[in-house]
Amino acid sequence: MKNIFKLIIVLLLIISPVLLSPFANHQLNSIVYADLKDDFNDNIDDQLSDLDFSNIEELIKDLTENEKSIFGDKSFLEKVVLILQGDFSDDFSSIWDMLFALFFDNILSLLPLIATIIAVSILGGMIGNLSPSKGNKSISEIVHFVIYGIIILLLSTIIVKMVTLTSDTLISIKNQITVIFPILLTLLTALGGTVSVSAYQPAMAMLSGFIIEIFTAFVLPLFLISLALNFVSNLSNSVKLDKLISFINSLFKWVIGIIFTIFTGFVSIQGIAAGAVDGLSIKTAKFTIKNSLPLVGSYISDGMFLILASSNLIKNAVGGAGLLLLLATVISPLIQIILFMLALKLMAGIIEPLGDGKIASFISSLSKSLVMLIVMIVCVSFMYLVLTGLVMCSANIL
Amino acid sequence: MPSISTWILSIAGVICLSVLIELIMPNGQMNKYIKNIFSFVIVLVIIMPIPKLIGKQFDSSSIFNQEEIVLQEDYLYSLNISKLTAIKENIENDIILAGYDGVEVSISADIFVENIVFKTVYVNLSDLVITEEAEHKDIVEIKEEIEISVGKFINNVEVVFEG
């Protein structure tokens, strides 16, 4: 009995350090964690103060009211700090409020136009249908001519506004790309992701230069061309340019489709491969360092890891803030164009049974052409999003 | 492009003209001839720019002028300085953990490039104090251990011992 007792006590004494070690480590870990967090925050603050955000701040000063309510009324640097602390959006309810206000404002401003156009075309249709001499087609044709001219006059102000809105949005996206990408690539270089940088630099230059140039100089005029052809084609019953209009539409779809597919596919594959290579090389270096140091002191003395980790977090935070800025810039024009397109379809639906068939077909093909503008903005934003997302996912050491 | 707008305007103009004339035209025998002629003219106007496109030399250099992206060098240089300090501390700590106190490490490196390039590591052994864990080692073994420690953090660098 006594021997077994002694054996048990000796065994307990031997095992006790192992049993108690989690508690010991916990004390040590909490001290280590607090120190680590302080070091981390200091590191991040130092690096943020070295980075030059002045170009972006200039861009942000020109944000409109609507855009500010999505992005927040802060400077870019403050937004990056917020994201670093894990706070992605200050106020969801204010964003929804702004969106609803935008919706209703636009609908209210479109209503008078809709009402005018419907009234005019119904009037014209009735005059044409109920004219006393049924055999004489020329009165209805002349009436149709005049009504047509009035409608195109009414619509042209809004169409011009939509076109300038699209081109302004594309140019502001281009400015954002030219300003934010150097910072992202700098951070990527600091992390040691040289392969990724050499992959992303030409892609970014191509996006902000060539692609947006083509969109504003070639594709946007295509919309205007299809508008003019629509107008002319529906002028009389004998001359129809429908096939030419569908040629322009197909040209548009193919040009955008090819550019988009090539760019996104190429950049994604190159970026993923390059990012993996860089991530692996950085992680290998980290692994070597960690293995060489004994267990307890491995995080305290790893100053290099802290520096790289803070660069990494800053890179991801800057990418996130840039995407938020993109969202703020793009959402308002998109809503306006979409509402106008839906309003046109509504008008066409109302005019068709009551008025002239040609006016209804003009308005409905106009609304189909408006999709071009929407597709342009969405396409460019998506390419920018893909590129930024790839940069955020490359060369991550954590 | 001005040529495209003139093209579209000419198509629109011809079609408007044809519509107007159809409106005004009395129903006579010349009616269908005039309609046919106008459709010919419209087709001609639509096709007109195509021969010009074929003859033109396509200049692709104006499209592909890419602007160089300038990285922020101040940030990279100050980051390189921090990295240098951090690696120096790592090496010194590692040497201390291996049991050699009082070793001074200084690194000469090229800071003003994008990624820091290490040139030589100077290790000053004049104040070397061997702690208890690493007794019974002669100077050659100590130097080898220090070289291994440096090698864990920096690859392919020359280690120069002083003192």
A299 is a domain residue? yes
A110 is a domain residue? no
ipTM of model? 0.73
A50 is a domain residue? no
In sequence order, what are the beta bridge partners of B130? B100
> Which chain B residues have a beta carbon less than 8 Å from that of A190?
75-76, 79
Q: Is B75 within 8 Å of chain A by CB?
A: yes
Contact yes or no for B90 and A186 at CB 8 A:
no
Contact yes or no for A138 and B76 at CB 8 A:
no
pLDDT band at A27 (very low <50, low <70, confident <90, very high): low
For residues A226 and A247, give the distance between their C-alpha atoms in angstroms, rounded to a whole number.
Answer: 9
Domain enclosing residue A183, as ranges: 158-393
Per-residue pLDDT at A92 exceeds 60 = yes
Q: Helix (H, G, I), strand (E, B), or coil: what is residue B153?
A: helix
Contact yes or no for B8 and A186 at CB 8 A:
no
Contact yes or no for B115 and A189 at CB 8 A:
yes
Residue type, B109: A
Contact yes or no for A145 and B19 at CB 8 A:
yes
Which stretches in chain B have pLDDT values below 70?
A: 1-2, 55-69, 132-137, 163
pLDDT value at position B154? 74
Q: Is B78 within 8 Å of chain A by CB?
A: yes
Per-residue pLDDT at A28 exceeds 60 = no
> Which chain B residues have a beta carbon less than 8 Å from that of A185?
69, 71
A239, A244, A301 ranked by CB distance to B90: nearest: A301
pLDDT in tens, A359-370: 888 899 899 889
Contact yes or no for A302 and B90 at CB 8 A:
yes
Token duo for residue B162: 């002083």
> How far away is chain A from the Cα of B115, in angstroms, using its nearest Cα?
7
pLDDT value at position A250? 92
pLDDT value at position A385? 92
The rounded Cα B12 to chain-centroid distance in angstroms is 46
As for how many domains chain A has, the answer is 1
From residue A164, alpha-carbon distances to A120, A159, A220, B84 in Å are 27, 9, 10, 51
A104 is a domain residue? no
> Which chain B residues have a beta carbon less than 8 Å from that of A178?
67
Q: Is B119 within 8 Å of chain A by CB?
A: no
A255 is a domain residue? yes
Q: Helix (H, G, I), strand (E, B), or coil: what is residue B58?
A: coil
pLDDT band at A313 (very low <50, low <70, confident <90, very high): confident
* B contact residues 14-53, partner A, Cβ 8 Å cutoff: 15-16, 18-19, 22-23, 35, 38-39, 42, 46
Contact yes or no for A221 and B1 at CB 8 A:
yes
A37 is a domain residue? no
For residues A175 and A391, give the distance between their C-alpha atoms in angstroms, rounded to a whole number.
Answer: 18
pLDDT in tens, A212-266: 888 888 888 888 888 888 888 888 777 778 888 899 899 999 999 999 998 888 8
Contact yes or no for B69 and A288 at CB 8 A:
no
A136 is a domain residue? no
A33 is a domain residue? no
For chain A, the average pLDDT equals: 80
pLDDT in tens, A370-393: 988 899 999 999 999 988 988 888
Contact yes or no for B85 and A178 at CB 8 A:
no
